Structure 1
Amino acid sequence: MTKITAILPAYNEEVSLGSIILNTKKYVDDVIVIDDGSTDNTVEIAQLAGAKVICHSSNKGKGAALKTGFKAAKDSEIIVTIDSDGQHNPEEIPKLLNPIINGKADVVNGSRYINGNKKDTPSYRRIGQTVLDKATNFNSGLDITDSQSGFRAFARHAVPAFRFSCIDFGIESEMLMDAANAGLRIKEVEISVRYDVDGSTKNPISHGVGVLMRVINDLEFQRPLYYFTLPGAIIIIIGVVLGLVFFGDYLGGATKSLAPTVIAIMMTMVGGFLAFTGIILDSMSRMINRVVNDSNYDIHTSDISSTEIKQHGK
């Protein structure tokens, strides 16, 4: 039988955590709560509800909590992540499990908007989420409708693809980009969401800006042609144009100094360096991704041939 573990990152979630754990236990074998430095009764309630609890001594962030949880659940065939604030419905866990159990996906993303259903989302949230979705999709080459969903399922062979380098809420986008780079099969399923129980302790604007900056920063590694080569090409064009103008002025006697021309030449050289750097990094990235994809394919086919996955039930 397939072993399924649910990971619940929790920070001061004493109000909703108990019911989430009890309902989640109906569909999984183990529930692991990562207490991320809570100052309320989160730990006590999680233990009373029957969850295994791992505590961080201080609040390190959701990404750090997920990293701890995935490490603790390394022996599970499928790992489910679900937020602890009550927004997600544990009864929808089978929706996320089925594509993996049936061999149709390596990662399943629970989406609030897969069918364009946006009416329940506060407008200010949806605007920010749309920006993050576009940025994440551009960076990863995916077409995900809910890049910030915390309700997901992962096959065990997919776990090595994740870096867990982001310790905060940017982890949601990072994991999608890592999965895309590793060539994993990603499927979205529709889920519901409740906003009347939103217990987020972080300002949504600062949260969104922080995630966006993280995604943009990842362009350096995910899309070096856009991060280096495109700006470099623009700088080259500007440098060449300015160089011709300044040198023309020098030849025409409008100026007696070649300094502006030299500066324009230096600008062109810097642009060329950036453009060349982007091309080299892009080639290296493609080569690395090809090796990783081949490795993941071998692991995946080995799992299929050696293990018959059966429908989970309790």
Structure 2
Amino acid sequence: MKMIRVIIPAFNEEKSISKVIGDIPPHVTEIIVVDNNSTDHTNKVAADAGATVLSEPESGYGNACLKGLSYLKTLDQQTDIVVFLDGDYSDYSEEIDKILAPIINDHIDFVIGARVKSKRESGSMTFPQVFGNWLATSLMRVFFKSKFTDLGPFRAIKYEKLLNLKMEDKTYGWTVEMQLKALRHSLSYTEVEVRYRNRIGQSKVSGTVKGAVMAGIKILGWIFKYTFK
């Protein structure tokens, strides 16, 4: 039996987080919600839903993910696979088994949930998100010959492989950093088509002009950093 732990960064997701947790298959070993300085009751709702709740007061998606990884290192019990997904209910948590299957059955190291157009709810991805994904993955194909089509946050990776990547981004660049480092480390990877719906509440990134611009800058920064490294 694989030990599977899910890390969910969350900022002001009290209306959605229990739904996200409730749809996760019961065979998952542990669900870890990292409360990223929320001003609502995200931490209490998540704890009541059965999650392990950590606090990361320093804002940033990457900071929340790094907090979750720091927690895993303290555990006596092993972790085989780590799954990341968002806390806004845009991802379908019940599809975790689809994300895990290539790792468990085919010994793939790293799996991305690809939010293909045919499976996306209308309006679930803004134009900046769609364009940013296309631009970033196109550049990765040109410079690194990658086959990625999405920077989707719903993903799974073997824990030991993840540790070897030495993740460091603290904000918007976390997802693309992981993909670029996976390419650099020659990890085996694949994508699995997943459904995607309109989130509950406003996006902290694509829902604001500042967030979209900053995310775009960070993502392109990582790509060019690795291109000319």
Give the alignment's TM-score, normalised by structure 1. 0.65
Matched residue, 1:134: 138
| Corresponding residue for residue 147 of structure 2 | 143
Deviations 1:170-205 (A, max 9, x none): 111111001110000111001000115353123454
Tell me if 1:7 matches 2:7.
yes
1:101 and 2:104 are equivalent in the alignment: yes
The answer (yes or no) to whether the contact 1:34–1:55 under 8 Å persists in 2 is yes
Structure with more helix by fraction: 1
For 1:84-119, what per-residue CA distance to the aligned partner results, in whole angstroms no more than 9, with x for missing partners? 000011110000111110133100000012x76567
Change (3 A) 1:214 1:141: farther
Question: Secondary structure, in 3 states, of the residue corresponding to 2:13?
Answer: coil
Check the 8 A contact 2:10/2:42 in 1, yes or no: yes
Q: 2:181 matched to which residue of 1?
A: 178
Distance 1:123 1:201, change over 3 A: closer
Could you tell me which runs of 5 or more consecutive residues in structure 2 were left unpaired when the two chains were aligned.
none
2:44 paired residue number = 44
SS at match of 1:73: helix
Runs of 5+ unmatched residues, structure 1: 225-280, 282-314
> 1:113-262 residue pairs with structure 2 within 5 A?
113=116, 120=122, 121-147=125-151, 149-195=152-198, 197-202=200-205, 203-219=207-223, 221-224=225-228
Higher relative contact order (CA 8 A, sep 6+): 2
Q: 1:277 aligns to what?
A: none
Change (3 A) 1:36 1:206: same
RMSD over aligned CA atoms reads 2.2
Aligned in 2, Cα 1:119/1:86: closer, same or farther, shift over 3 Å? closer
1:220 deviation in Å? 5.5
**Is this contact kept in 1: 2:62–2:171, CA < 8 A?**
yes
What CA distance in whole angstroms lies between the structure 1 residues aligned with 2:63 and 2:143? 22
Separation in 1 of the partners of 2:110 and 2:36? 25
Aligned match of 1:54: 54
Deviations along 1:198-257, one digit per CA (max 9) or x if unpaired, are 531234543343233234433554222xxxxxxxxxxxxxxxxxxxxxxxxxxxxxxxxx
Q: Tell whether the 8 Å contact from 2:25 to 2:94 is kept in structure 1 after alignment.
A: no
Question: How many pairs align?
Answer: 222
Amino acid at match of 1:212: G
Closer/same/farther in 2, CA of residues 198 and 183 from structure 1, 3 Å limit: farther
Matched position secondary structure for 1:24: coil
Checking the alignment, whether the CA contact within 8 Å between 2:36 and 2:55 is kept in structure 1 is yes
- The structure with the larger Rg is 1
Aligned equivalents of 1:109, 1:124: Cα separation in 2: 20
Partners of 2:121 and 2:25 in 1: how far apart? 30
Higher alpha-carbon deviation: 68-77 or 35-44: 68-77
Compute the TM-score of the two structures, normalised by the length of structure 2.
Answer: 0.87
Residues 253-295 of structure 1: CA distance to partner in whole angstroms, max 9, x if unpaired? xxxxxxxxxxxxxxxxxxxxxxxxxxxx6xxxxxxxxxxxxxx
